[in-house]
């Protein structure tokens, strides 16, 4: 008889991993995005520290997804897929999300089973860090993710890549009106409101330029929620109005034209709301779960 294993990561699991990574990243004075996905490549939680490069979010997601669908470190595909690889092109075309065959995505293993993945992206630093518990210089991306997962340090970045990355000194950070702490407060308020209503939701928070800062899926929430949450938040941000009002502003034909012109996936379903501070839009929230009306109620309550 097969032995049962707890294969599903909870939101508490994901947040705990990310919190350990965030604390360690702050110790080094860096910025980064951290993503935890389940073994099917679905986002459980995502957090981006203030100052994270825009590429940091998209590449971290792409690494985590590759590690999930391949059930192994994202780096192991890098050596097999050179420039112009027909196999690589065919592989990525048959996946539902973008992938990045580079170092940084590490499996989360429980009782010998891959139950999820965790990754980070640009912003942490290069290959020149010295830490007390590892001999020699380490790559901070690899070190921080391994630290977060409580596993021994695994060198994911090969030496040629180390030379390419060079020192980890960074220039000025990108300004932001929202910090990760701010985003967590809004997300937690939304999930608390959903709990009071007895429903399971996903929540996404973007900053004033559309960078995803926090994305959470409550245990038992719909797997579609993270994608819809982000799209709702981006729509509310770009149009500086609740998504529930978009259909009243434009007729269906106009909405289709506008949606095709956008560089992001525009959603006009209720649940997205801009966040305003001192008369300025500082970000937006997107909520998905149960009915659009309930999602919009939760979003409104979360941002007060």
**For the domain 11-165, what is the CATH code?**
3.30.450.150
Which residue from 139, 51, 128 is spatially nearest to 102, judged by alpha carbons? 139
The band of 132, judged by pLDDT with boundaries at 50, 70 and 90, is confident
Per this entry, what is the length of the chain? 304
Q: Where are the domains of the chain?
A: 11-165, 180-303
Looking at residue 1, what is its pLDDT?
43
- Of residues 267 and 302, more confidence is placed in 302
Q: Strand runs (DSSP E) across the chain, as ranges? A: 33-38, 43-48, 106-110, 113-120, 129-130, 137-138, 202-207, 212-217, 272-277, 280-288
Looking at residue 85, what is its pLDDT?
67
The band of 91, judged by pLDDT with boundaries at 50, 70 and 90, is confident
- Give yes or no for residue 64 having a pLDDT over 70: yes
pTM for the model stands at: 0.88
- Give yes or no for residue 164 having a pLDDT over 50: no
Which residue from 13, 6, 66 is spatially nearest to 216, judged by alpha carbons? 13
173-224 tens-digit pLDDT: 556 678 999 999 999 999 999 999 999 999 999 999 899 999 999 999 999 9
Class of domain 180-303: alpha beta
Residue % of the chain over a pLDDT of 70: 88
Looking at residue 82, what is its pLDDT?
55
Residue 166 backbone zone (phi > 0: left; psi -120 to 50: alpha; other: beta): left
Domains 11-165 and 180-303 share a fold: yes
CB 105 within 8 A of CB 66: yes
Looking at residue 160, what is its pLDDT?
55
The band of 289, judged by pLDDT with boundaries at 50, 70 and 90, is very high
Alpha-carbon span 23 to 19, nearest angstrom = 6
The band of 80, judged by pLDDT with boundaries at 50, 70 and 90, is low
Dump the DSSP string for 39-87.
TTS-EEEEEE-TT--HHHHHHHHHHHHHHHHHTS-GGGGTTT--TT-HH
Alpha-carbon span 296 to 302, nearest angstrom = 10
215-267 tens-digit pLDDT: 999 999 999 999 999 999 999 999 999 999 887 877 777 778 887 787 778 88
Query: Average pLDDT of 128-137?
Result: 80
Q: What are phi and psi of 61, to 5 degrees?
A: -65, -40
């Amino acid at each position: 008889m097969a032995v049962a294993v707890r294969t599903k990561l909870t939101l508490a699991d994901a947040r705990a991993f990310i919190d350990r990574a965030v604390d360690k990243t702050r110790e080094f004075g860096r910025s980064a995005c951290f993503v935890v996905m389940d073994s099917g490549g679905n986002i459980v939680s995502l957090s981006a520290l203030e100052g994270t490069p825009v590429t940091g979010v998209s590449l971290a997601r792409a690494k985590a997804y590759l590690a999930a669908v391949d059930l192994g470190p994202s780096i192991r595909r890098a050596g097999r897929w050179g420039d112009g690889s027909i196999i690589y092109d065919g592989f990525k075309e048959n996946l539902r999300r973008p992938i990045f065959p580079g170092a940084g995505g590490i499996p989360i293993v429980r009782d010998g089973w891959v139950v999820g993945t965790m990754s980070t992206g640009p912003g942490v630093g290069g290959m020149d860090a010295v830490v007390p518990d590892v001999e020699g210089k380490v790559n901070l991306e690899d070190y921080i993710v391994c630290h977060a997962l409580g596993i021994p340090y695994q060198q994911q970045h090969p030496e040629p890549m180390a030379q390419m990355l060079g020192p980890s000194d960074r220039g000025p950070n990108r300004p932001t009106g929202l910090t990760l702490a701010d985003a967590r407060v809004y997300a937690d308020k939304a999930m608390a409101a959903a709990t009071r209503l007895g429903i399971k939701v996903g929540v996404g928070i973007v900053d004033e330029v559309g960078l995803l800062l926090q994305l959470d899926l409550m245990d038992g929430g719909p797997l579609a929620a993270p994608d819809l949450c982000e799209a709702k938040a981006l729509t509310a941000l770009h149009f500086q109005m609740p998504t529930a009002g978009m259909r009243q502003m434009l007729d269906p034909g106009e909405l289709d034209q506008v949606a095709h012109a956008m560089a992001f996936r525009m959603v006009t379903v209720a649940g997205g709301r801009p966040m305003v501070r001192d008369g300025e839009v500082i970000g937006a929230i997107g909520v998905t779960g149960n009915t659009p009306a309930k999602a919009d109620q939760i979003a409104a309550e979360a941002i007060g």
